[in-house]
Amino acid sequence: MKKAIAFILALSMIAVLFAGCGNPSSSSGSSSTSIVQNDQTESPRAEETAPSAEPPVHVVVECLYFDAVPRDLELVENAINGITVPEINVEVELYPLSMTESSTQVSLMISSNTQLDLVVSFGRSDFLSLVNKNMLLDLSDLLEQHGQGIVANAPNAIEGGYVGEGLFGIPSVEKYGNTFGLMIAKEVTDSVGWDKFENVSIEELGEFLSLAHEQYPDKTLIQLTGGTNSVNNFSNFYEVDYLASSVASGGVMGIGSEENDQIVNVFATDEYREFCETMHEWFEAGYFNQDAATCTESAQSYITSGQALGFLNQTELDMVPSQSAAVGKELVAINTLPHVLVTENIASGLWSIPYTCKTPEAAMKFMNMMWDNDDIINLIYYGVEDVDYRFADDGSGRITYLEGDTAQTVGFRQWFGIYGNVPRRLTWIDLPAEYKDHLEAFNNEVNETNTSKYLGYAFNPESVKTQYAAVQDVISTYRTSLECGVVDPSAVLPEFLNALNAAGIDEVIAANQASLDAWIDAQ
Domains, the chain, ordered by start: 7-37+55-175+346-433 (3.40.190.10), 178-344 (3.40.190.10)
DSSP 8-state code for residue 487: S
CA distances from 248 to 242, 251, 475, 503 (A): 9, 9, 7, 10
Question: In this predicted structure, what is the pLDDT of residue 51?
Answer: 56
For 145, the 3-state DSSP assignment is helix
Instruction: Say which residues have a Cβ less than 8 Å from residue 3's Cβ, sequence separation at least 6.
Output: none
Question: In this predicted structure, what is the pLDDT of residue 19?
Answer: 36
CA distances from 70 to 61, 64, 74, 168 (A): 15, 10, 9, 29
Question: In this predicted structure, what is the pLDDT of residue 298?
Answer: 87
DSSP 8-state code for residue 233: G
φ, ψ (nearest 5 deg) of residue 493:
-60, -45
Of 390, 392, 388, 425, the residue nearest 407 (C-alpha): 388
**What is the C-alpha to C-alpha distance for residues 372 and 416, in angstroms, rounded to an integer?**
19
CA distances from 415 to 65, 225, 432 (A): 8, 22, 19
For 279, the 3-state DSSP assignment is helix
Q: Would the pTM of this model clear 0.85, i.e. be above it?
A: no
**What is the C-alpha to C-alpha distance for residues 270 and 253, in angstroms, rounded to an integer?**
11
CB-based contact 401:13 (threshold 8 Å)? no
DSSP 8-state code for residue 249: G
Other beta carbons within 10 Å of 472: 18
Of 222, 334, 335, the residue nearest 286 (C-alpha): 222
Q: Tell me which residues of the chain have a pLDDT lower than 50.
A: 1-49
